[in-house]
A and B are shown apart, each in its own frame.
Chain A
Amino acid sequence: MNAPIVGQPIRRKEDARFLTGDSTFTDDVNVHGQTHACFLRSPHAHARIRGIDRTRAAASPGVLAVFTGEDLAEAKVNGLPCGWLITDVDGQPMKEPPHPALALGKVRYVGDHVALVIAETLNQAKDAAELIEVDYEVLPAVVKAGDARKPGAPVVHEAAPDNTCFVWTIGDRTAVERAFSGAHHVTKLEFVNNRLIPNAIEPRAALAQYAPGEDAYTLHVTSQNPHVERLLMAAFVLGLPEHKLRVIAPDVGGGFGSKIYLYAEETAITWASKRVRRPIKWTAERTESFLSDAHGRDHVTRAELALDRNGKFLALRVATTANMGAYLSTFASCIPTILYATLLAGQYTTPAIHCEVTAVFTNTAPVDAYRGAGRPEATYVVERLVDTAARELGIDRAEIRRRNFITEFPYQTPVALNYDTGNYEATLAEAIRLADVAGFETRRKEAERRGMLRGLGYSTYIEACGIAPSNIAGALGARAGLFESGEVRVHPTGSVTVFTGSHAQGQGHETTFAQIVAGRLGIPIENVDIVHGDTGRILFGMGTYGSRSIAVGGTAIVKALDKVIAKGRKIAAHLLKAQDSEIDFVNGEFWVKGTDRCKTFAEVALAAYVPHNYPLETLEPGLNESAFYDPANFTFPAGSHICEVELDPATGTTRIVNFTAVDDFGKVINPMIVEGQVHGGLAQGIGQALLEGCAYDPQSGQLLTATLMDYALPRADDLPAFKVGLKETACTHNPLGVKGCGEAGAIGAPAAVINAVIDALAQFGVRDVEMPATPERVWRAILGARTAKKAA
């Protein structure tokens, strides 16, 4: 009997190479004859390009070529597509203005791509870029989402004269209004969900090569989903057949959403690699990442919760304006709609919900999915309202949640989703225990004696992961399928290579997926390797985002394993002179039931590849199976986060003294990796709540937070040690019973932190502090409340 593998904290197979510098990130790849690219970027948020003079740049030492948007247009290179069509409340398709890889006629945000310089060395490319003379007619800019539809606002795209991409609604407006009119109490809040810049520590990079002999391209790129990148770039932008473009995403240094999308840079250099007949490398500097990686969040929301006298939620009404930035990024349109408004039921039985989302264009970088993608924004709305309502009605904040929890499953929400399973009371009870809520009042009093303020905040979140059933996604506007593929290649002596369309940017798939395979096949984990991130080796893939890898990618591998085992059973039956139905596969051995006759997995594999004694008339030789898996439903991870903060009223400084997260991710394959995912998500959620905020100058549209000296990424001494717990209700519709864990921390944490801050400040009458709750904002909130009190 082998030791169990699934469910164990197996140390990661990939670690040795990362720890010794033996890893291969995109910028580590160098090829013979490589040239270097530098992008000249717009210094203006909004300007007409009257002319570009590249004469001096083209003549600069080492320069091979200087390209502009007109070159791409002349070569009939299409703009970058958006992968999700949202239909307006009037039945009209959303506005999709052209998104050229290099600006054409106008620049629309600071950092927009104006020209591409290719030179022998990076310094030569940078020097030459400075010699390009661009004649700009600077135009007024619109920066804030809330300003985009004001009369007289500067127009970002002629195709959308009111800067509106779409107005979209979900839910039953009449039922909601009826519930509000009869409600005992209505809690109202207005929020800004602050704009964030993802900041994976590995900057985006690409290396494009063209092989004239094959008329084919190879692109190394920092991507979470190389097949999607290939499909979009080949079929939609460059007009290439897919077999002429191989996309390789080697080790990827963090993504968090920002490496899902097809970007201008890799598109332009791939096209240019044929023009200059040399490989071209581009690697973003950190400021380029700030300027041009897709940003996240940026909502302005008005939300109201109607309650009866017992604190039962009757209805929820939400209106959100979402900033799309200057262009529609690859999945921009589905984030504030399909991944946001459908989550507004939270963990609660709220019977009527209505949400209206207005998506607007502004002169800022494109906004798309960032860890959690819509679900943190939804959780923030619901959980801030719930805490505020509890305070207004004088009900304990855990108790009001319990009174409204969904307890029977499956549960159909009024906003489209059907939750298959969950146990919200269990995660809340465990979080309350781990966080020692019972001792909080004592700790609060102790802090008060030191002149400090303590607060406790809850957030009981839900997310929809395992994206997604393709037919449902298609009905909602997806222009792609959302299945996953897996291939299990058994080698003649019984070791296994698995090819998966999922990709890892730190999630540890090489270990978790190998655990699944080793566990199912009963072979040592050392005998299993996972291959990902290469369209030349993997049959297809939709990639990694939306916490989908284990639920969708893992299940595709299980389906392929089932086929391997089924074929192995036939081979074993032949070798053992038995019927297929008499064969049991147990711990890596095929047994004839009730006998002592068996063949090991390796023996069966060898027979498949050396088919001397083999049923060749009925069975093909070889042992290599693949599967595609399209999920039947989303998965619904959920949990309870409890944050305890201590504030210094003199300075407004907030310190997190305790953070507890108890999550239900369904079955857990590797608890060590899962807990690590939670830690990282919490850090990003806490970062959003207390530290991180993208700031554009509201007039000029200049990005004020364009370096790590100006944008506060959480550092080790900003964060506490986390208390993490797991509860388990198995997902009902995938064979692993898994739900996904990558985004939970970032989804639950912001509301827990701000609820804790408000709890600490409630004695002053403070109802809200905008994220990030910096010392200045907290200090001003205290001052403002004290001043108001004195005046009254």
Chain B
Amino acid sequence: MGTHLSLTVNGRAVSADIDPRTLLAQLLREHLRLTGTHVGCDTGQCGACTVHLNGRAVKSCNLLALQAQGASVTTIEGIGEPARLHPMQEAFREHHGLQCGFCTPGMVMNALELVRRHPNPSEDTVRAELEGNLCRCTGYHNIVKAIVAGAAAMKR
């Protein structure tokens, strides 16, 4: 029927036969039911669909699933659990860095990428690096605080 695809998602081997038009975001949400990755804009502007592909943050609504052939993908479901949050997730909670929660998974995934490149980010660096992630609820004030605090916590 479709094209065969094999990859690793959150450390688990996954394979599927898919319509070649399938986007990576659709593969995650519809085939694997990993609905924590959200689609907000279809044009790579909002960043709600951000996941890690071989350790780098990418917008999964702008990639074909086939581009992840053989790759390792990490989604928000692979970062932490409600009872055991990742330090970055904990920082978002502590600093009220989320309201409706729709942009949040993408924010966290991009925040982790940001810390990888800037282990001690200033607020200005965080604001600049959030260029690709839109939030309509928080005015970013608390997201910026959360990421600075999360970066510090990740060193502990």
Partner of A123, one of B21, B127, B142: B21
Total interface residues in chain A, CB < 8 Å: 59
Question: Is the CB–CB distance between B100 and A682 below 8 Å?
Answer: no
Q: Are A708 and B41 in contact (CB under 8 A)?
A: yes
B128 and A717: CB pair below 8 A? yes
Minimum distance in angstroms from A102 CB to a CB of chain B: 24
Contacts of A393 in B (CB 8 A): none
Known: A18-B104, A676-B142. Is A12-B96 also a contact (CB below 8 A)?
Answer: yes
A649: chain B residues at CB < 8 Å are: none
Given contacts A11-B94, A716-B140, contact A23 B130 (CB under 8 A): no
User: Are A19 and B108 in touch, CB under 8 angstroms?
Assistant: yes
For the complex, give the distance between the alpha carbons of A679 and B30 in Å.
34
Q: In the complex, which residues of chain A have a beta carbon less than 8 angstroms from the beta carbon of B93?
A: 11-12, 15-16, 19
Residues of chain B from 72 to 113 with CB closer than 8 A to chain A in the complex: 75-77, 79-83, 85, 89, 92-94, 96, 98-105, 108
* A20 partner, pick from B48, B89, B136, beta carbons under 8 A: B89
**With an 8 A cutoff between CB atoms, is B11 at the interface?**
no
A713 touches B139 (CB 8 A): no
B127 — which chain A residues lie within 8 A by C-beta? 716-717, 719
A527, CB-defined interface residue at 8 Å: no
Cβ 8 A contact of B77, one of A21, A256, A675, A682: A21
Contact A708 B80 (CB under 8 A): no
A680 near B138: Cβ-Cβ < 8 Å:
yes
Is B4 located at the chain interface by the 8 A CB criterion?
A: no
A158 within 8 A of B: no
Query: What is the bound-complex CA distance between A199 and B38, given in angstroms?
Result: 15
Interface size on B, residues (CB 8 A): 59
- Is the C-beta of B143 less than 8 angstroms from some C-beta in chain A? yes
Q: Note all chain A residues with C-beta closer than 8 A to B75.
A: 21
Quick one: closest A residue to B89, CB to CB?
A: A19
Chain A residues contacting B3 (CB-CB under 8 Å) are none
Q: Chain A: which residue is nearest B22 at the CB level?
A: A123
- In the bound complex, residues from chain B placing their C-beta under 8 Å from that of A30 are 30, 33
Interface positions of B from 111 to 125, Cβ below 8 Å from A: 123
Query: Does A592 sit at the interface, judged by CB under 8 A?
Result: no
Q: Which residues of B contact A680 (CB under 8 A)?
A: 99, 136-139
Chain B CB within 8 A of A653 CB: no
Q: How far is the CB of A271 from chain B (nearest CB, A)?
A: 25
B80 touches A19 (CB 8 A): yes
Q: Is A541 an interface residue (CB 8 A)?
A: no
Bound CA–CA A23/B9 (angstroms): 19
Stretch at the interface among A105-113, A200-208, A548-556, A694-702: A200-208
A19 to chain B, nearest CB (A): 4
Give Cα A790–Cα B43 distance, bound, in whole angstroms: 47
8 Å CB contacts to B: which residues of A495-541? 505-508
Q: Contacts of A254 on B, CB cut-off 8 Å?
A: 99-100, 102, 136-137
Q: Which of B29, B134, B143 is A708 in contact with, Cβ under 8 Å?
A: B134
Residues of A within 8 A of B21 (CB): 123
**Smallest CB gap from B37: residue in A:** A21
B144 contacts A by Cβ under 8 Å: yes
Contact A673–B144 (Cβ < 8 Å): no
Is A286 on the interface with B (CB-CB < 8 A)?
yes
Q: Is the CB of B43 within 8 A of A708?
A: yes
The interface bits of chain A over 31-56 (1 if a CB of B lies within 8 angstroms of the residue's CB, else 0) are 00000000000000000000000000
Task: Please report the C-alpha to C-alpha distance between residue A20 and residue B39 in the assembled complex, in whole angstroms.
Answer: 16
> Would you call A448 an interface residue if the criterion is a C-beta within 8 Å of the partner chain's C-beta atoms?
no
Per a CB cutoff under 8 Å, which of B30, B76, B103, B142 touches A201? B103
Determine if A658 is an interface residue (Cβ-Cβ < 8 Å).
no
Cα–Cα distance between A23 and B131 once the two chains are bound (Å) = 25
**Cβ-neighbour of A15 out of B48, B98, B123, B138 (below 8 A):** B98
Which residues of B have CB within 8 Å of A681?
A: 139
Q: Which residues of A contact B128 (CB under 8 A)?
A: 716-717
- A285 and B42 within 8 A (CB): yes
How long is the Cα–Cα vector from A30 to B26 in the complex, in angstroms? 13
State the CA gap A681–B35 with chains docked (Å). Answer: 28
Return the contact of B38 from the options A253, A505, A707 (Cβ within 8 A): A253
A669-702: which residues lie under 8 A (CB-CB) from chain B? 672-673, 675-677, 679-684
Contact check, B101 vs A253: say whether CB atoms are below 8 A apart. yes
Query: Do B82 and A17 touch (CB < 8 A)?
Result: yes
Measured CB to CB, the closest approach of chain B to A705, in angstroms, equals 13
Whether a CB of chain A sits under 8 angstroms from the CB of B135 is yes
Instruction: Report B33 CB to chain A, min CB distance, Å.
Output: 7
Q: How far is the CB of A494 from chain B (nearest CB, A)?
A: 23
How far does the alpha carbon of A256 sit from the alpha carbon of B137 in the complex, in Å?
Answer: 9
Which residues of chain B (25-50) have a CB below 8 Å from chain A? 29-30, 33-43, 45-46, 48
Contact B96 A202 (CB under 8 A): no
Q: Are A716 and B45 in contact (CB under 8 A)?
A: no
Within the complex, the shortest CB–CB distance from A639 to chain B, in Å, comes to: 16
A251 part of interface (Cβ distance < 8 Å) = yes
Contacts of B17 in A (CB 8 A): none
| Nearest CB on A from B143, distance (A) | 7
- Chain A residue contacts of B38, Cβ below 8 A: 25, 201-202, 253
B17, chain A: closest CB distance, angstroms: 14
With both chains docked as a complex, state the minimum distance between the C-beta of A720 and any C-beta of chain B, in angstroms. Answer: 9
A123 to B26, CA, bound (A): 12
B142 contacts which of A20, A24, A286, A679 (Cβ < 8 Å)?
Answer: A679
Asked whether any CB of chain B lies closer than 8 Å to the CB of A14, the reply is yes
Say yes or no for A408: interface residue by CB 8 A criterion. Answer: no
Specify which chain A residues have a CB less than 8 angstroms from the CB of B104 in the assembled complex. 18-19
Of chain A, the residue at the smallest CB distance from B84 is: A20
Q: A16-B93, A256-B136 are in contact. Are A201 and B40 (CB under 8 A)?
A: yes
A673 to B94, CA, bound (A): 12
Q: Would B136 and A16 count as touching, CB distance under 8 A? A: no
B126 at interface by CB-CB < 8 Å: yes
Q: How far is the CA of A19 from the CA of B100 in the complex (A)?
A: 11
* Inter-subunit contact B138/A676 (CB<8 Å): yes
A722 interface contact, C-beta 8 A: yes
CA distance A677 to B142 in the complex (A): 11
Inter-chain contacts of B123 with A (CB < 8 A): 721
Q: How far is the CB of B81 from chain A (nearest CB, A)?
A: 6
Distance (Å) between the CB of A412 and the closest chain B CB?
35
Q: Mark A243-283, 1 if CB is under 8 A from B, else 0.
A: 00000000111101000000000000000000000000000
Chain B residues contacting A215 (CB-CB under 8 Å) are: none
Asked whether B98 lies within 8 Å of A19 as measured between CB atoms, the reply is yes
B82 & A286 in contact (Cβ 8 Å cutoff): no
Q: Measured between alpha carbons, how far is A158 from B140 in the docked complex, in Å?
A: 47
Q: Is the CB of A676 within 8 A of B130?
A: no
The answer, yes or no, to whether A396 is at the interface (CB within 8 Å) is no
14 cross-chain CB contacts under 8 A = A15-B101, A18-B101, A18-B104, A19-B93, A201-B135, A202-B38, A202-B102, A286-B46, A506-B101, A676-B99, A679-B138, A707-B43, A709-B43, A713-B134
Q: Which residues of A does B touch, CB under 8 Å?
A: 11-12, 14-25, 27-28, 30, 121, 123, 199-203, 251-254, 256, 285-287, 505-508, 672-673, 675-677, 679-684, 707-709, 713-717, 719, 721-722, 745
Which B residues are within 8 Å of any A CB, using their own CB? 19, 21, 29-30, 33-43, 45-46, 48, 75-77, 79-83, 85, 89, 92-94, 96, 98-105, 108, 123, 126-128, 130-131, 133-144
